[in-house]
Chains A and B, each alone.
Chain A
Amino acid sequence: MNAYSKNKVLLSAENIHLQYGEKKILRDVNFKIHDIVREGVHQGQVVALIGRSGIGKTQLFKTLSGLIQPTEGTVRIGEDQHPVKAGQVGIVPQNYILFNHRTIYRNLKIGLDNADVKLTEEEKKRIIEDYAQTFELTEHLNKYPAQLSGGQRQRVSIIQQVLTGNKFILLDEPFSGLDILMVDKVIQLLLKVSTLSEHNTLIIVSHDIENATAVADTVWILGNEDGKAGATIKKEYDLCELGLAWQPEIRADRKFVELISEIKKQL
């Protein structure tokens, strides 16, 4: 069930430092995300970035997306490992920002309008309708964002980024403020998006340890080390190696429960 291999590097950070004036936010952040290959599945990558509030998660998030230039270091993406540029990594912010003056259909269409592949209007319509059906949004296509619930807006926000052609999508606190049933739905949604394409890579920034870990194949702990200013990735857990990835009922597993309590201690 869990037979897999890790191939080429898809996203990497080398010696990332971020400083505002005298204040050091990030220090010596290094990581590599490899393409995970599993037979019979378009297995994408899901990384959970866990850390306490105010530790610098959002700053790292923006650095990875190219919206902020680090003081030192480089973020590289793709099989050719080119330095990231703003627009090559999608972002789904916590408050699911959408264009309020556009209907849901037109919000999704803007993703396709700016995609690498040029499509006809008819092709765009068909693709949007397909995604809307997969993600239960068909009846909302002619509505405005203000008419949708938080969960529906979140789905639109994610699909918008997928349609742009972004293989790398960063999600800021996707479980925030959701009830337990909605959290399960979001986990299903994230798993669905991650398996849409082999190279799809989701980075979930969250302080909800249990849910973020349940959906991830890798967990990074962002925190401060004693006597050193600035947050760094203190610890990386490879959940594939631990046999804890891609299992829907993982929360009940004893090893998973132990891992969660270990992660808590790291924070």
Chain B
Amino acid sequence: MNKLKAIFEPLRMLDKRTMTILLVAEAALALLVWQLSGGGLIPTPDKVLKAIGTIFTMPDFIDNLFASITLTVKGMLISIVIALIISYLSIVPFFQPIARFVIKCRYLTLTGLIFLFTLLTQNGGQLKLSLLIFGIVPFFVTTLLGVIADINKQEFELCTTLRMNSWQSLWEVIIVGRLDQVFEVMRQNFAIAWLMITSVEGLSMSQGGLGVMLIKANKYVQLDIVFGTLVIIFALGIFFDFILGLFRHWLFPYTKLHTR
């Protein structure tokens, strides 16, 4: 009874076992509600599960999957490089207005820029990649500038008392000292990239991708395939997030530690 009360109590910390039970129970309940209320427009979980099986047997599924993953990874890597350059340069006063402009670009809609990017790029692949980068970079830079702004001034004072010049301080405190946070920002932005991938893939369908699969299934009202593809995209996103989380702890072991 007490445990039941505890799960409804604000700020209550649950042990790992109780939390896992709660998670599984809520997921099972959601699936049950979905199964019982479905059957109309939304396919039920058993139909979605069958559709996933069908998707796996589709001859072009692997090609589409790799097309999406390749585009996302490529877009992410280029975005990281661009965003890091802009963020690090923002410390130099001359480049601050540029960084500020880039973060405001979050409010520019991609749809309005498709025509411009079509003219600027040479093929569909470049168009998708450039739109993806343009979509990610402003968010990436915004978070990175937040990380830099949160740095305790005393860290720079420590560098000064340790006789470092401003370039050494930049390297020690902002670049190396915040690499773990950059990795975390990258992990968060991977989710945005993964979310955007299906939208931009529709712009050049000849190259395939999970987004193309979604568009085609939508066109022929194959809702079970649509939901099956969505589940695959969702599961892959969670898997990548988990892998990047593991990587972060492996590369930066101190992130797991808490100050005593």
Contact = CB atoms under 8 A, between A and B. Distances in A.
Contact of B260 (A67, A110, A147): A147
Contacts, number: 66
A146 B260 contact: yes
A101 B157 contact: no
A51 interface: no
A105 to B, nearest CB: 14
A248 interface: no
Contacts of A101: 176-177, 179-180, 252, 254
B42 interface: no
A99 B253 CA distance: 14
A158 to B, nearest CB: 12
B158 interface: yes
Given A146-B260, A147-B257, A97 B155 contact: yes
B252 to A, nearest CB: 7
Specify the main secondary structure of chain A where it touches its partner: loop
A93 B258 CA distance: 20
B163 interface: yes
Interface string A83-114: 00011011101010111110000000011001
Nearest to A165: B163
A164 B162 contact: yes
B158 A100 contact: no
Given A99-B172, A101-B176, A65 B161 contact: yes
Nearest to B152: A97
A114 B161 CA distance: 10
Interface in B123-181: 152, 154-155, 157-158, 160-164, 172-173, 176-177, 179-180
A164 B164 CA distance: 11
A147 B259 CA distance: 6
Given A100-B177, A101-B176, A111 B260 contact: no
A73 B160 CA distance: 22
A161 interface: yes
Contacts of B172: 99, 110
Interface string A134-171: 00000000001111111000000000110010100000
Contact of A87 (B155, B160, B176, B260): B160
A147 B173 CA distance: 20
A91 B153 CA distance: 13
B260 A149 contact: yes
A164 B163 contact: yes
Nearest to A160: B162
A111 B162 contact: yes
Contacts of A145: 259
Contacts of A95: 154
A144 B154 contact: no
Contacts of A161: 161-162
Nearest to A157: B158
A87 B154 CA distance: 13
Contact of A100 (B154, B157, B254): B254
Contacts of A146: 254, 257-260
A114 B254 contact: no
A114 B164 contact: yes
Nearest to A92: B161
A163 B255 CA distance: 27
A97 B173 CA distance: 12
Contacts of B158: 91, 93, 97-99
Contacts of B177: 99-101
Contacts of B180: 101
A67 B252 contact: no
A100 to B, nearest CB: 6
- Residue from B163, B164, B177, B257 having most chain A Cβ neighbours under 10 A: B163
A86 B160 contact: yes
A166 B260 contact: no
Nearest to B252: A101
Contacts of B154: 93, 95, 97
5 contacts: A90-B161, A91-B157, A97-B152, A98-B158, A99-B172
A-B pairs, 9 with minimum CB distance: A146-B257, A114-B163, A144-B254, A87-B163, A97-B154, A86-B160, A91-B161, A146-B259, A90-B161
